[in-house]
């Protein structure tokens, strides 16, 4: 079925007595789908396997006449359904989706619907790490250069909610592997792949499947930004598609990278020095890579270099991403709660000068903690482990650095304050998801910040 035919299926003429659309999942994405369908007078049945799904009361306000089913979901619900719009957190292994595929029912993401509807150019950004920072940088760079830009999808506003706002010059979409997995075509003005490291293997099943989802960012792209450290990415892009690469090495002409001159690292385009890394407001070497990716993206959409560099000199970063919290007794406390996988935690530790007291732990998502241990142990004064997979991390580090255990994050912060020396950094870089003890990584980061502030009180 073509995109045009799919749109006709769910277009305004599709509102009939028996809905042909099913919305699976009533969280933030499901509610945004409901608002979109309501704006376009499209009927749907709404289902969720949880007996008391989040957002249920809000959904009833948005679609008061819709059929809503929660709790046990049976095959009978699929009768007459032609398209299922699935929230990104629901895996393909879900029994209702398995049955739907057997029945030949179309399964799509909200991003697929966004692509079919939007008449505005958009930038698509993904990566295992750094995508929220780059999405924010690109959005700020657009505004600095005089272009109206709205950011959303996996960051901030859901994609379909963006379509209800005043039309901007550009949309800037942060896309997760879950969203990309169910998106067949993405004709972005620029598609950006920052990096790929093993993550969400519990959802995707294998690193190969995870990579395949990430590489979908290039499907239909009009121009691309690539990381030179990923040789496989280049092969996923048609030869005719314009591209710019970035990396932490010295760049070739027209590409972005790092040039060291007189002991100082500079962001550079070819042999032209753009900005000394100490003049960036962002902390950490990995944020230099994020800045380079943002500059390459801005070039491809025609932004002025001066406007982009102004943003890099002023933007300090998002909360919970290498966020400086306080300096107490000569010890820096940094919150990188968003480091939810092993490679992100490694990048965090290696970007800090001096010795590190690392706080890590949570739900490991199949991460390789031996890789974490052997990559960072020389930087660690000690490690404190918390959460569900604390013992897995402790075992990996045991013969390399002193390891301490804490029942809670506040207890870990207090323990870290007794272990750190002046000049050290206490770093929350969990290498794990937060869901064993927290609603999300933000709540984890907020508790870390609160605990540090109590130390300073």
Can 154 be counted among the known catalytic residues? yes
Catalytic pick among 21, 129, 154, 195: 154
Beta bridge partner(s), residue 360: 385
Read off φ and ψ for residue 269, nearest 5 degrees. Answer: -115, 110
How many angstroms separate the CA atoms of 161 and 272, rounded? Answer: 40
What's the gap between Cα 346 and its chain centre?
A: 17
SS (H, E, C) 129-145: CCHHHHHHHHHHHHHHC
Can 21 be counted among the known catalytic residues? no
* Token reading at 199: 């993550």
What ranges make up the beta strands (E) of 114-166? 122-126, 149-153
What's the gap between Cα 241 and its chain centre?
A: 25
Catalytic pick among 129, 131, 287, 404: 131
Catalytic pick among 189, 200, 214, 320: 200
Q: Count of CB atoms within 10 A of residue 48's CB?
A: 24
Can 200 be counted among the known catalytic residues? yes
Integer CA distances (angstroms), 366 to 89, 145, 160, 393, in order: 17, 42, 32, 12
Alpha helices in 301-341 (DSSP H): 305-314
Integer CA distances (angstroms), 364 to 368, 393, 436, in order: 9, 9, 10
Nearest one of 2, 28, 37, 139 to 87, comparing CA atoms: 28
Beta bridge partner(s), residue 123: 172, 190
Read off φ and ψ for residue 303, nearest 5 degrees. Answer: -80, 145
Q: Are 429 and 383 in contact (CB under 8 A)?
A: no
First to last CA, the chain: 62
Integer CA distances (angstroms), 205 to 175, 201, 230, 236, in order: 19, 5, 21, 21
How many angstroms separate the CA atoms of 115 and 125, rounded? Answer: 14
Residues in the chain, how many? 457
DSSP string, 168-205: -SEEEEE--HHHHHT------SEEEE----S--HHHHS
The residues carrying an active-site annotation are 131, 154, 200
């Amino acid at each position: 079925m073509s995109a045009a035919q799919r749109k006709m299926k769910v277009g305004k003429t599709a509102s009939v007595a028996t809905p042909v659309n099913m919305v699976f999942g009533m969280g933030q994405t499901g509610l945004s789908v409901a608002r979109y369908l309501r704006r376009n007078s499209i009927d749907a049945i709404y289902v969720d396997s949880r007996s008391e799904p989040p957002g249920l009361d809000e959904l009833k306000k948005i679609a008061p006449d819709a059929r809503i089913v929660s709790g046990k979901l049976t095959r009978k619900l699929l009768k007459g359904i032609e398209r299922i719009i699935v929230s990104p957190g629901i895996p393909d292994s879900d029994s209702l989706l398995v049955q739907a595929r057997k029945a030949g029912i179309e399964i799509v993401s909200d991003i697929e619907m966004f692509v079919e509807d939007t008449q505005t150019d958009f930038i698509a950004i993904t990566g295992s790490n750094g995508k929220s920072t780059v999405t924010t940088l690109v959005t700020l760079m657009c505004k600095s250069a005089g272009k109206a830009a709205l950011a959303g999808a996996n960051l901030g506003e859901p994609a379909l909610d963006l379509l209800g706002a005043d039309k901007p010059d550009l949309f800037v979409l942060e896309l997760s592997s879950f969203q990309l997995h169910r998106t067949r075509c993405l004709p972005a003005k620029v598609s950006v792949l920052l990096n790929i490291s093993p993550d969400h293997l519990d959802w995707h099943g294998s690193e190969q499947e995870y990579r395949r989802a990430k590489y979908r960012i290039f499907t239909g792209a009009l121009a691309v930004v690539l990381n030179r450290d990923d040789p496989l990415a280049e092969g996923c892009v048609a030869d005719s598609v314009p591209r710019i690469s970035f990396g932490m090495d010295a760049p070739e002409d027209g590409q972005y990278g790092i040039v060291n001159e007189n002991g100082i690292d500079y962001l550079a385009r070819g042999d032209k020095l753009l900005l000394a890394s100490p003049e960036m407001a962002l902390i950490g070497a990995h944020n230099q890579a994020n800045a380079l990716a943002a500059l390459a993206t801005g070039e491809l959409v025609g932004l002025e270099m001066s406007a982009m560099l102004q943003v890099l000199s002023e933007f300090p970063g998002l909360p919970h991403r290498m966020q400086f919290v306080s300096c107490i007794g000569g010890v820096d406390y940094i919150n990188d709660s968003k480091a939810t996988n092993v490679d992100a935690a490694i990048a965090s530790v290696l970007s800090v000068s001096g010795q590190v007291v690392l706080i890590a732990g949570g739900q490991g998502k199949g991460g390789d903690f031996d890789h974490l241990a052997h990559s960072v142990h020389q930087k660690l004064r000690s490690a404190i482990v918390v959460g569900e997979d604390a013992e897995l991390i402790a075992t990996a580090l045991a013969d390399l650095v002193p390891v301490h255990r804490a029942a809670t994050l506040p207890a870990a912060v207090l323990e870290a304050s007794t272990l750190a020396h002046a000049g050290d950094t206490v770093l929350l870089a969990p290498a794990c998801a937060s869901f064993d003890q927290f609603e999300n990584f933000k709540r984890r980061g907020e508790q870390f910040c609160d605990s540090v502030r109590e130390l300073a009180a």
